[in-house]
């Protein structure tokens, strides 16, 4: 199969018929063998009923329904698991992503040999309260990851099949799939300017809190990608440095006391020296960090799967 189009959705009953018809037209015009995976993230409108009707009319359309809302990352993860295409394309269900971009994305994966291509909504139809924080967020993500993308959070992306089968998208990590792909060893990550359209139906499901959560998730994905398998490399190093700093201060305090006694100078009590308490604090914190590294190693070696979601129904 040439392409799998994965569409996570929540309360998008109005846009689904138009979106699937558009994807179908583009795929047939380009003679792609295709499937459309619609992942209903616990919608409380008629979205699932619409998906069932679409799947009955077109066998290429497949639906997955969650019992409750788990978030976009969970929907993408399940869509990736079920996908069978050589190229996997993700897009949002609100018609702000254009299926006409599919041939260009497909060509960059197949002919230009990119592992992943991320869309860049260079011209956006969003209010400044959304675009300005997005620019700050993307700038921070570029500096932290070293990946030169302008729009990490763009829902329109394309992947080689091997990429989506090798990464685990959980929590709110859908914003950082390029970073996850990079740390999984897929380094050919490209970007394509894509058309952004004004929302036609409904309203956005995301508020301003996503920008706060986005920075926290960036710290999380950066740390777990670098030290998730070897937490001792982080906590052990930091703990060792703290302990050595405290030990050095302790030696200084003790040596200073002995020197003054040897010179016949009346020396103050060690506990009257502020460096004594600094040294003691550093040694305690260093020991705790070192032990945290050991505990982290035990947890990482015995961790269970994080992506367990309650799928209620499928159409395939």
- In angstroms and rounded to an integer, the radius of gyration of the C-alpha atoms of the chain is 26
pLDDT in tens, 178-235: 988 998 889 999 999 998 777 667 666 555 566 666 667 777 777 776 776 678 888 8
Pair of tokens at residue 126: 């969003």
pLDDT recorded at residue 267: 76
To the question of pTM greater than 0.85 for the whole model, the response is no
Residue 124: name the closest of 201, 191, 195 by CA.
195
Provide the H-helix boundaries in the chain. Answer: 16-29, 47-57, 72-82, 102-110, 128-145, 161-164, 177-183, 209-227, 231-262, 274-301
Could you tell me if 40 and 65 are in contact, meaning their C-beta atoms sit under 8 angstroms apart?
yes
Closest CA to 150 of 171, 181, 119, 172: 119
* Low-confidence stretches of the chain (pLDDT beneath 70): 125-132, 199-200, 202-215, 225, 228-229, 300-312
Give the orientation angle of helix 16-29 with respect to helix 102-110, to 10 degrees. 50
């Amino acid at each position: 199969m040439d392409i799998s189009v994965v569409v996570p959705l929540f309360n998008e009953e109005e846009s689904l018929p138009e979106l699937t018809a558009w994807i179908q037209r583009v795929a047939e015009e380009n003679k792609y063998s295709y499937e459309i995976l619609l992942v209903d993230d616990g919608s409380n409108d008629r979205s699932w009923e619409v998906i069932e009707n679409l799947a009955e009319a077109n066998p290429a359309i497949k639906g997955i329904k969650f019992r409750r809302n788990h978030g976009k990352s969970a929907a993408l993860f399940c869509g990736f698991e079920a996908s069978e295409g050589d190229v996997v394309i993700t897009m949002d269900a609100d018609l702000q992503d254009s299926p006409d971009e599919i041939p260009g994305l497909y060509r960059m994966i197949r002919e230009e040999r990119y592992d992943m291509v991320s869309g860049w909504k260079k011209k956006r139809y969003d209010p400044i309260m959304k675009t300005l924080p997005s620019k700050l967020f993307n700038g921070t993500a570029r500096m932290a990851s070293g990946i030169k993308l302008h729009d990490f959070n763009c829902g329109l992306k394309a992947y080689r099949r091997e990429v989506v089968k090798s990464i685990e998208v959980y929590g709110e990590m859908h914003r950082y799939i390029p970073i996850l792909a990079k740390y999984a060893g897929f380094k050919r990550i490209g970007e394509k300017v894509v058309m952004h359209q004004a929302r036609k139906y409904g309203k956005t499901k995301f508020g301003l809190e996503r920008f706060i959560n986005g920075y926290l998730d960036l710290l999380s994905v950066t740390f777990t990608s670098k030290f998730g398998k070897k937490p001792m490399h982080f906590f052990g190093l930091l703990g060792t440095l703290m302990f050595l700093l405290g030990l050095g201060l302790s030696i200084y305090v003790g040596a200073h006391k002995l020197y003054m006694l040897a010179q016949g100078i009346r020396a103050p009590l060690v506990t009257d020296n502020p460096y004594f308490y600094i040294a003691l604090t550093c040694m305690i914190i260093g020991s705790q960090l070192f032990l945290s590294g050991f505990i982290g190693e035990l947890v990482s070696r015995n961790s269970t799967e994080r992506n367990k979601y309650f799928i209620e129904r499928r159409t395939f």
